[in-house]
């Protein structure tokens, strides 16, 4: 996973009322080659817990386009600390690969000096997220998404790691990668405000119930319905928010999807799992003993450590009065919820009931 890089950050993000002016100056020197740019219809995009996002219209002369700003929020206002430079470099690599469709990353203020915080400007894709589509119509109408969803997962996992940015860590082996993630579960307890032996129990279960090995590859890290944009008119899928991406076990994305759907149902994969897994296995080349509901349940637990450890750390910061972000306070509800999901997933994967008698 990308590590946070705070070098060169030019300050915290300014108030939204000041950003249109900064964007006008920023875009005038890039998009318009020095010509004046006018920014209008500036509006924050709500729903995310990690980055500040807004959409806006930019015009110069007779040309007008819509863009999205994705930037770092002020310190202490996010449950995750990630690196915009690493995200920018990965988006450029994925764009060049062409196997997965993403909104084009157009410009990047790496230092944050111009926009007030490190930020990426993307093209705006008209459409709603896949999550919005799943809230409409009857469940039978959602089956149209099964095949393209399987293709999206397989497309991410098919990206050759050689083409990825050099700064992305490549694990030495599958076993060492699993070892490291199991250890992170045990270590996460140290960041908790209180002792939580449950984390050590999970680490022990993960260590003794490892599934068959799978080839390592690109893992998106946050592949869930709200991060898939369905383009209006074409129905094409655009995959958003690459900040948690890493080289790891591809089943982590499948496991994370299952966890995310517990809090934001329905689960499109579970609704037609035979069809989804059959197509995913066909596209990815992975066999049924590698990819099945039990192995995916294992990675529902393992894949969550990146986010779960961050939630633990941020809530501990709140208990020490180091942050006042309402988003962090809200996420305290996620801890017992995720505990329940982990127990259910461990039962589905096997071994948990026997070990806890």
Within a domain: residue 5?
A: no
Please determine, for residue 133, whether its predicted confidence score (pLDDT) is greater than 70.
Answer: yes
Within a domain: residue 9?
A: no
Structure confidence at residue 79 (pLDDT): 64
Please determine, for residue 128, whether its predicted confidence score (pLDDT) is greater than 50.
Answer: yes
Q: Given 124, 154, 179, which residue is the final one in a domain? A: 124
Residues 294-322, mean pLDDT to the nearest whole number = 78
Cβ neighbourhood burial of 173 (10 Å; 0-12, 13-18, 19+) = exposed
- Indicate if 98 and 221 belong to the same structural domain: no
Please determine, for residue 41, whether its predicted confidence score (pLDDT) is greater than 60.
Answer: yes
Please answer whether residues 314 and 328 qualify as being in contact, where contact means their C-beta atoms are separated by less than 8 angstroms.
yes
Q: Given 74, 107, 124, which residue is the final one in a domain? A: 124
| Ramachandran category for residue 173: left, alpha or beta (phi over 0 → left; psi -120 to 50 → alpha) | beta
- Indicate if 76 and 22 belong to the same structural domain: yes
Residue 273 belongs to domain with CATH number: 3.90.1200.10
Highest mean pLDDT, choosing among 12-26, 73-87, 206-220: 206-220
**In the chain, what percentage of residues exceed pLDDT 90?**
67
Distance CA 168, CA 175 (A): 18
Which residues, at least 6 apart from 132, have a Cβ–Cβ distance to it below 8 Å? none
Residues 329-355, mean pLDDT to the nearest whole number = 76
Q: How many CB atoms lie within 10 A of CB 65?
A: 14
- Indicate if 145 and 60 belong to the same structural domain: no
Within a domain: residue 328?
A: yes
pLDDT in tens, 232-279: 999 999 999 999 999 999 999 999 999 999 989 999 999 999 999 999
- Indicate if 171 and 317 belong to the same structural domain: yes
Domain count, the chain: 2
- Indicate if 54 and 151 belong to the same structural domain: no
Which residues, at least 6 apart from 255, have a Cβ–Cβ distance to it below 8 Å? 296, 297, 298, 299, 300, 301, 302, 303, 304, 345
Please determine, for residue 68, whether its predicted confidence score (pLDDT) is greater than 60.
Answer: yes
Structure confidence at residue 76 (pLDDT): 62
Distances (CA, A) of 122 to 19, 91, 125, 153: 16, 10, 9, 22
Structure confidence at residue 188 (pLDDT): 77
Within a domain: residue 3?
A: no
Vertex 61 angle, CA 56 and 67, to 5°: 20
What is the CB-side half-sphere exposure of residue 176 using CA atoms within 13 A?
6
Domain that holds residue 99: 16-124
Within a domain: residue 6?
A: no
Please determine, for residue 91, whether its predicted confidence score (pLDDT) is greater than 90.
Answer: yes
Distance CA 105, CA 199 (A): 38
Q: Given 79, 99, 124, which residue is the final one in a domain? A: 124
- Indicate if 95 and 26 belong to the same structural domain: yes
- Indicate if 149 and 289 belong to the same structural domain: yes
Pairing of strands 105-109, 119-123: antiparallel
Provide the Cα torsion 184, 190, 196, 200; round to 10°.
30
- Indicate if 140 and 225 belong to the same structural domain: yes
Within a domain: residue 20?
A: yes
- Indicate if 213 and 300 belong to the same structural domain: yes
Residue 94 belongs to domain with CATH number: 3.30.200.20
Within a domain: residue 344?
A: yes
Please answer whether residues 91 and 102 qualify as being in contact, where contact means their C-beta atoms are separated by less than 8 angstroms.
yes
- Indicate if 274 and 341 belong to the same structural domain: yes
Q: Taking the model in full, what pTM does it have?
A: 0.88
Instruction: Give the lowest-confidence range in 77-81, 140-144, 216-220, 349-353.
Output: 77-81
- Indicate if 78 and 40 belong to the same structural domain: yes
- Indicate if 47 and 111 belong to the same structural domain: yes
Please answer whether residues 331 and 77 qualify as being in contact, where contact means their C-beta atoms are separated by less than 8 angstroms.
no
**Average pLDDT of every residue of the chain:** 87
Within a domain: residue 323?
A: yes
Find the distance separating the first CA and the last CA of the chain, reported in whole Å.
35
Residue 352, SS3 per DSSP: helix
Nearest to 109 by CA among 44, 3, 13, 45: 13
């Amino acid at each position: 996973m990308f590590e946070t890089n705070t070098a060169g950050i030019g300050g915290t993000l300014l108030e939204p009322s000041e950003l249109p002016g900064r964007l006008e100056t920023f875009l005038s020197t890039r998009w318009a080659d020095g010509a004046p740019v006018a920014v209008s219809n500036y509006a924050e995009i709500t729903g995310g817990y990690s980055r500040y996002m807004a959409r806006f219209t930019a015009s110069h002369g007779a040309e007008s386009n819509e863009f999205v700003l994705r930037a770092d929020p002020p310190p202490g206002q996010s449950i995750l600390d990630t690196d915009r430079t690493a995200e920018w470099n990965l988006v450029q690599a994925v764009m060049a690969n062409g196997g997965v469709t993403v909104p084009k990353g157009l410009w990047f203020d790496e230092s944050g000096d111009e926009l007030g915080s490190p930020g990426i400007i993307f093209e705006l894709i008209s459409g709603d997220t896949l999550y919005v589509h799943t809230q409409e119509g009857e469940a039978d109408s959602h089956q149209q998404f099964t095949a393209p969803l399987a293709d999206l997962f397989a497309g991410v996992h098919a990206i050759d790691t050689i083409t990825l940015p050099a700064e992305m860590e490549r694990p030495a082996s599958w076993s060492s990668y699993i070892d490291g993630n199991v250890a992170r579960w045990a270590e996460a307890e140290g960041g908790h405000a209180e002792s939580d032996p449950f984390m050590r129990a999970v680490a022990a279960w993960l260590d003794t119930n490892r599934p068959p090995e799978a080839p390592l590859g690109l893992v998106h890290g946050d592949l869930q319905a709200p991060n898939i944009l369905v383009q209006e008119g074409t129905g094409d899928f655009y995959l958003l928010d690459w900040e948690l991406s890493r080289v790891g076990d591809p089943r982590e994305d499948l496991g994370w999807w299952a966890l995310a759907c517990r809090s934001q149902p329905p689960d499109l994969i579970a609704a037609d799992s035979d069809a989804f897994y059959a197509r995913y296995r066909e596209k990815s080349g992975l066999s049924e003993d590698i990819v099945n509901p039990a192995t995916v349940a294992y990675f529902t637990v393992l894949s969550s450590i990146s986010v779960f450890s961050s939630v633990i750390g941020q809530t501990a910061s709140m208990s020490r009065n180091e942050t006042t972000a309402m988003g962090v306070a809200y996420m305290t509800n996620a801890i017992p919820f995720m505990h329940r999901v982990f127990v259910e997933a461990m039962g589905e994967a096997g071994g948990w009931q026997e070990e806890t008698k």
